């Protein structure tokens, strides 16, 4: 879901260096990693796309967050972004996600389960919702692979409330299936990525005119590249698209469209998204 990747800092390395200076070589013992680590990132993107659909009216978004991880595998954190157009719910038009989960390894596979609470500070209360997730991570040669399932049980924020053919004021649930691949090109700072996702949820509009699954069922996909240019700084470019057609989404108008610069565009059309991120 509005998700971002965080990189661990150099706290463990600093501890080892300090130990080496303070202790004679023959008495050195390898220091254990700290039980709690904090990692995070801050970045700028040319368009905030959530499952293929623009949440910033195809405009620039500032995003960032942090994660606190314990050596046991439990973690918690937050992530946020500004919103515009389709993605707004009143107030300052901000999204703040709170998440918590548990990550471990079984053999060579990584397992990550948790829950995310999507909230919109000072916005409409009936747009906040929660979603659980489970991820399975592994490798196939040089390629890192992730399969994920996201499920949000029936909630008011996901219901059919606006004037569409499907609206009866009922609550709805939402299922999202995703697959991701990443490959780091040897001897270069370049990483190539690919993503595909499938949404099955509310075919109408929620209580304030938006939905996390426009048209109910659709596919989204992306292909991208990221390059580490200096230290924690990474530049990225990503092609993003969905299979939502103008005819399929016509009943969602005027909500489901671009408003800035004269408006009228389809916010689920293909786009090239540029980003710059600094991790810590």
Q: Which residues of 209-230 are buried (b: 16+ CB within 10 A; e: fewer)?
A: bbbbbbbbebebbbebebebee
Distances (CA, A) of 139 to 106, 175, 181: 13, 25, 9
Contact 20, 14 (CB under 8 A): no
Specify the pTM: 0.86
Q: What is the pLDDT of residues 185-222, one digit of tens each?
A: 999 999 999 999 999 999 888 888 889 999 999 999 99
With contact defined as beta carbons under 8 Å apart, do 58 and 66 qualify? no
Mean pLDDT of the chain, nearest integer: 88
Reported as a pLDDT band with limits 50, 70 and 90, residue 88 is: confident
The confidence score (pLDDT) of residue 19 equals 35
* Residue tagged 């292909």 (tokens): 223
∠ CA(251), CA(255), CA(258), 5° rounding?
Answer: 115
Q: Which residues contact 233 (CB under 8 A, 6 or more apart)?
A: 276, 277, 278
Whether the Cβ atoms of residue 221 and residue 197 lie closer than 8 Å to each other? yes
């Amino acid at each position: 879901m509005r998700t971002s990747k965080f990189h661990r800092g150099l706290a463990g390395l600093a501890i080892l260096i300090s130990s080496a200076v303070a202790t004679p070589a023959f008495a050195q013992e390898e220091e254990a990693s700290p039980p709690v680590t904090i990692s995070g990132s801050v970045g700028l993107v040319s368009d905030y796309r959530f499952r293929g659909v623009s949440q910033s009216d195809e405009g620039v978004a500032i995003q960032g967050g942090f994660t606190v991880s314990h050596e046991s595998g439990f973690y918690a954190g937050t992530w946020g972004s500004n919103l515009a157009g389709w993605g707004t719910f009143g107030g300052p038009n901000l999204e703040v996600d709170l998440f918590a989960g548990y990550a471990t390894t079984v053999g060579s596979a990584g397992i990550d389960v948790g829950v995310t609470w999507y909230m919109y500070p000072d916005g409409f209360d009936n747009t906040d919702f929660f979603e659980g997730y489970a991820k399975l991570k592994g490798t196939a040669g040089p390629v890192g692979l992730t399969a994920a399932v996201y499920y949000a049980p029936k909630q008011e924020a996901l219901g059919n409330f606006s004037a569409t053919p499907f609206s009866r004021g009922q609550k709805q649930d939402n299922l999202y299936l995703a697959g991701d691949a990443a490959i780091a090109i040897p001897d270069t700072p370049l990483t190539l990525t690919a993503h595909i996702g499938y949404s099955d949820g509310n075919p109408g509009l929620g209580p304030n005119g938006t939905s996390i699954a426009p048209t109910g069922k659709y596919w989204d996909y992306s292909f991208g590249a990221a390059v580490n240019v200096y230290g924690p700084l990474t530049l990225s470019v990503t092609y993003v698209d969905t299979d939502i057609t103008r005819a399929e989404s016509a009943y969602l108008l005027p909500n489901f469209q671009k408003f800035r610069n004269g408006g009228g565009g389809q916010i689920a059309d293909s786009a090239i998204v540029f980003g710059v991120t600094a991790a810590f």
